[in-house]
Structure 1
Amino acid sequence: MAEKLLEVQNLKQYFNSGKSNMVKAVDNISFDIFKGETLGLVGESGCGKSTTGRTIIRLYEATEGNVLFNGENVHGKKSKKELKQFNRKMQMIFQDPSASLNSKMKVSDVIAEGIDIHGLAKSKKDRMERVYELLETVGLNREHANRYPHEFSGGQRQRIGIARALAVEPDFIIADEPISALDVSIQAQVVNLMKKLQKEKGLTYLFIAHDLSMVKYISDRIGVMYFGKLVELTTAEELYRNPIHPYTQSLLSAIPLPDPDYERTRVRKTYDPSKHKVQPGEEMEFREVKPGHFVMCSKEEFENYQKQYTATV
């Protein structure tokens, strides 16, 4: 059985907006990520997926709940030494490479920042050799080390961001919409690079995106978020073959295919949350409809989903 690397338990991230308005950006979600896998997290803009990633890595302090990384609680009181060790083992690749790279620093210094903080280089020569090796690992040249971020294309800047994340030899990387700011022709190159690095270095990813087709390509399992809630979680193949939650079905129905005949007859499904039936005093729960396939549903919906599953077995 695969070993758990990350456990998210009843995580909440609430923000105050005005005097009495509370925004429930992440509302009581739970999931695990296993060593060596990629968990994709998808949903519309504003659903809370990026906030989930930023809370996991402690850019935000959790309102409630626990995040366990290698069995240790990420949040709560930590010493500087503990935080430093945690920051080395968990890194983030950001959505906009232009904004996430310091424009006043040379690429060599951008990449080596983590190396310097954690004292990973034995000498200046060792430091530069590490930088050169990282540049070549992400498909760039050692000559690029003396340039500045603005001298590169968007795809190249994202490769620099990946090199920076790899510099401290992390176990886990949160990729927060890492390809959404890139041209379509470049997106596949970056995703293929991430898959290659994962295989070579045994990395574990949380891949956050809204492009379901690309998420399917890179992910082992996929979680679907809607207004701060995790509404469905299963393997990538199962999610596409048998989406259960109506919101997931609506997302998948919106994916265009390069097939004129299909596009002429494609029917887009719309999601109406008011159609969920909940008995008085009952709350929607995240339930395992079939092995490994979890859905946010009421008790009545759960029973109906199970009947449908049993009928197909």
Structure 2
Amino acid sequence: MVNQILYAAITIVIGVGFAFIYFWGSNWLLDRLLSTENVDGPTSIRRDSLRTRIRPWLFLFPALFFLTVYLVYPVFETIRLTFYDGGGRNFVGSSNWLWALNSPAFVQSLINNALWLIVVPSAATAFGLLVAVLADRLWWGNIAKSMVFMPMAISFVGASVIWKFIYDYRGSGEQIGLLNAAVMAFGGEPQAWITLPFWNNFFLMVILVWIQTGFAMVILSAALRGIPEETIEAARIDGASDIRIFFDIMVPQILPTILVVWTTITIVVLKIFDIVLAMTGGQWDTQVLANLMYDQMFRANHFGHGSVVALVIMIAVLPVMIWNIRQASSEQGTH
């Protein structure tokens, strides 16, 4: 533990020191190279202008460099590998794509991802909106919001470990799983919940809904506070019920925010990996695209198949992400 803290501290010192040396050194070098000392007239103006144009790029360069190395280059390398064999050496054309179309595991992963996309964003957004509305009516609403938001502070793997105990099944022995304890309390039989084909996908989805509801609640609660109080009061004076106010006034006014929350959670779902790996490892028909990519890339050591799956995930995420960014930008522009 002490060694880990020491290594972390050393890493921070080195990182901050390197950043200081880079930014100070690059600006010092720029000022020296384009110095206006002993220079008059148009040359001085030209150097000042050039120095002003170059300086912002000195600050942007580290970010652009790491984006290129860790984002742009891997994208093009992944596209290249989709046309090569497992070792990434021999060109095989479209055979990796044909493998994906004819692979039962790939088809099963697509179906499971589609299920996750239908259930999780809708459920998390709906529960988040419900909590945001109801919590404002309670004197202990802030406490309730804190409790709902708390799972956001837990990693996906940590949340999976918690829910693994909830779904735990011990065969014919004493049951310690909370869900089986509840089932037995009502006279039912304990089940190995995460091994039940098809239904086990929904048991895994509950974990992500539990985590993302807090995110949806915070964003939607802020949006609800932006609704003019006069509008709601006028509706109450006209005799509108709380349900009518919710569906006819609140929801339409925060609909853009609801869509942003929904699409943000959709992006998370498209990249879901940790929960499935920690809970089932992709067994019992729970495989999703990210887990299939991991299996093909690092377990089967077939870079071609893994790259195809990775590219499919990227293609699925990109339109949603672009729409989300544009929607968020338009939201900012209207305020």
| TM-score interval (norm. to shorter) | under 0.3
Bigger Rg over Cα: 2
Bigger proportion of residues as strand: 1
Bigger proportion of residues as helix: 2
Q: Which has the higher contact order (CA 8 A, sep 6+)?
A: 2
TM-score normalized by the length of structure 1? 0.21
